[in-house]
Structure 1
Amino acid sequence: MICGILLIVWTIPSAENASAGESDPVLATAGALSAAGNFDAAITEYLRYLYFHPTAETIGGVYLNMGNVYLRLSDWENARDAFRRSIRFAPNDSLKNVRRLNLAIHSIAHKNYSLAVLELLKVASFSKQPHLRRKAGFYLGVANVYLLEFDQVEAALAPYFSKDSSDYGRKTWQRLQRLAGKGKTIHPRSPATAKWLSTVFPGLGQLYSGDFKNAVNALALNGLLGYGVTRAFLEQNYVDAVLEGVFLFQRYYMGNRVHAAQIARTRPIKKEKKIAEEILTELGKYLAHKR
């Protein structure tokens, strides 16, 4: 469930990276190695700089660059740690919040939604810059979509869309509200209850979980099984009756109970994921329209 356009990384101003690279030949070498695709060597140079300059004013930018290089190496854990350090050593609150957004968006891309929510809440709640709070609210909504927390999606996105007075933005927001509302109406079903209902009457557990097709299928199969066993007994074909009753009973009647529990457990999640995908598609279209 990935919508790539929603994961466009909030890039740090290039001037910060350039100033970090120009201030020291080691950093200049690291930048050149990274640009050439020699990422492991670039990391080595960045680590060399940090070892000899542990208190330099530029180390926040160095950690930021390291995080980006680690991403190119598909090393999310080290990238995450480097981004966290870049936040810690940011020279001011504004840059801290920009870097928090950067970490949060990368966290969403790597399915670390809880970390994303934590960082986004910090920006949305405490940033003094309205445009950063608004962007944080947008991605907070995205993170909650992935978490299937539909009651939080609308609350997170509302401040963002309240600032968009365009006709397209208004219609998009209406569609998003409708989808989030549908998501909030989905309630999980009890697997134990579904299993018990299908024990009493085959197919009833599936019907309880909202799966009419499988309910009819379970009822039909078990009905045919019961008919076959009964007919075999009436025709005094006891061997066939016992074989059908034992082996087919195990497969279809008992399977009906297990299947009912599985449907109760998974069907709500499938429905929620479908709605989440629709919300992400709407957000993707919205961002594409704004570009």
Structure 2
Amino acid sequence: MLILILIINALSAGQSNDAALKLADKYFDNGLYDHAITEYKRYLFLKPTSPFASQLHQRIAQIYRDQHQWAWAIEAYRQAIACEANDSIQAELEIDLAITYLAASNYSAGEFQLIKTSIYNDDPAIKKRAAFFLSIAALHNHKWDDAEKYFNDYFEYCSDPNLKIEFDSVFQAVRKKKLKSASLAMWLSTLLPGSGQLYVGDYENALNAFALNGVFGYWIGSRLLLKDWGNALLIWHFLARRYYFGNRYHARRIAEEYNQNLKQEEINSILDCLQ
């Protein structure tokens, strides 16, 4: 009787686990990702040694990554790697983990993971994929020599020699473009409002900053010449100060945006070449 009860309980638990997994898949297929994660985690809690454990942790990681919840995605990928017995699939998961690090702007962790995976894996497809994302990480950080090295590693696994020639041309053209110094832009606009924006190449904002601050500078200067200290101070405190410091802040922001856009354009140019 006791054995029969244990068998019935085991069968019931198995059916319950299967039902939880089917429900999770249904939620996932319908785009109810938070509910899907809850059911996947419930299933994994009840059946941590399931043969589907790695796949489910991977699916959870993908959901979190799509939601830009990087820390949760990273932890889920780690769980997926720990549960995976197949070396090839494990290597693919390690690269997915590295990509998540890169997406979270944790470039050092992403690069370390990619290098580690490439060293300990002999599969050409894995090495090619690792080299590609190492190149992208180097581009984001404007490490041109590293980017060139990793792209050369990548092309060792490509069969089209013409693609390498085309890439070299695009890469050298992209490399000549220079980033703007956000600190220099700010200090230029500190000395002469609008000059930081002019340095970045934003002529419209440069003119606006110069004109507005010029008007306030003239107004304050005229008050000072008349020894109208009180009104000069009021104009500075309530009007001019805001525009002056705003001009410095915006010069820095515009330079940072310029750099970000330039980096993205560079990466897009290279990706277009490789497609």
**TM-score between both structures, scaled by the size of structure 2:** 0.65
Q: How does 1:225-264 map to 2 (within 5 A)?
A: 245-250=232-237, 254=241, 257-259=244-246, 261-263=248-250
1:123 corresponds to 2:113: no
2:33 matches 1:33: no
Q: Distance in 2 between matches of 1:192 and 1:74?
A: 31
- Asked if 2 retains the 8 angstrom alpha-carbon contact of 1:138 and 1:156, the reply is yes
Is 1:174 the counterpart of 2:169? The answer is yes
Match of 1:268 in 2: 255
Does structure 1 residue 157 correspond to structure 2 residue 151?
Answer: yes
Cα 1:162–1:74, aligned 2, differ >3 Å: closer, same or farther?
closer
Q: What is the letter of the counterpart of residue 261 of structure 1?
A: R
Contact 2:200 2:258 (8 Å CA) reproduced:
no
> Unpaired segments of 5 or more residues in structure 1?
1-23
For residues 272 and 73 of structure 1, the distance between their equivalents in structure 2, rounded to whole angstroms, comes to 26
Which range moved further: 185-194 or 267-276? Answer: 185-194
Number of equivalenced pairs: 255
Paired residue type of 1:206: G
Secondary structure in structure 2 of the residue aligned to 1:36: helix
C-alpha distance in 1 between matches for 2:101 and 2:224: 64
Q: Per-residue deviation at 1:72?
A: 7.7
Cα distance, 1:135 vs. partner?
0.7
Determine if contact 1:76/1:110 at 8 Å carries over to the other structure.
Answer: yes
Cα distance between partner residues in 1 of 2:15 and 2:111:
38
CA distance in 2, matches of 1:112, 1:220: 41
Further displaced range: 168-177 or 275-284: 168-177
Is residue 80 of structure 2 the alignment partner of residue 86 of structure 1? yes
Change in 2 beyond 3 A, CA 1:159/1:26: farther
| Residues 156 and 231 of structure 1: CA distance in aligned 2, closer, same or farther (over 3 Å) | same
Contact 2:189 2:195 in 1 (8 A): yes
Report the Cα offset of residue 99 of structure 1. Answer: 0.9
What is the percent sequence identity of the aligned residues?
A: 22
Counterpart code for 2:167: T
User: Normalising by structure 1, what TM-score?
Assistant: 0.63
The match for 1:12 is none
Alpha carbons 2:118, 2:126 under 8 Å: kept:
yes
Q: Distance in 2 between matches of 1:154 and 1:229?
A: 54
Aligned partner of 1:100 among 70, 94, 101: 94
Q: Secondary structure at the match of 1:119?
A: helix
User: Per the alignment, in what secondary structure is the counterpart of residue 131 of structure 1?
Assistant: helix
Deviation at 1:155, TM superposition (A): 3.8
- Secondary structure of 2:183's match? coil
Deviations 1:41-90 (A, max 9, x none): 76566545544554566643443344346668886544432220121232
Structure 2 Cα separation of the partners of residues 43 and 148 of structure 1: 34
Residues 112-144 of structure 1, C-alpha deviations (whole Å, 9 max, x = no match): 555433322322333222221111121223344
Alpha-carbon distance in 1 for matches of 2:54, 2:154: 29
- Give 1:50-65 correspondences, 5 Å limit: 50-51=44-45, 53-55=47-49, 59-65=53-59
Q: For 1:155 and 1:224, how far apart are their aligned partners in 2?
A: 53
2:196 to 186, 200, 206: 206
Aligned match of 1:20: none
Counterpart in the other structure of 2:7: none
Q: Structure 2: how far apart are the matches of 1:256 and 1:176?
A: 41
Is contact 1:206–1:264 with CA below 8 Å preserved after alignment? yes
